[in-house]
Amino acid sequence: MTTREHLTQADRFISECESRIARQREIIATAYKKGQPTDIPVSMLRALEQNLRSFEKHRHLILDQLKNGPAMTGKNRIKIGL
């Protein structure tokens, strides 16, 4: 997979995660309105938000690699295994 393909994949993961976060917020709002417990849905929201931050960091690494070109080696090289 090329670096640009990895970037496309990262963008897709970010978009999907943002959609899941929006849906999870709806679930929490509905549960709250119905007087149902929200502990578990809020916990899931926090996990999704953490995933989003990880995907965004990963995307920045890919962009750095694109900017710096193929000369990057060693510990700075991206290892993709999502």
SS3 category, 8 = helix
Q: What's the rounded Cα separation, in Å, for the pair 7 and 38? A: 35
DSSP 8-state symbol, 77: S
For residue 69, what pLDDT is reported? 77
For residue 38, what pLDDT is reported? 98
pLDDT tens, residue order, the chain (82 aa): 899 999 999 999 999 999 999 999 999 999 999 999 999 999 999 999 999 999 999 999 999 999 987 655 455 555 555 5
Best CA proximity match to 41, nearest among 33, 31, 50: 31
Cβ atoms of 5 and 65 closer than 8 Å: no
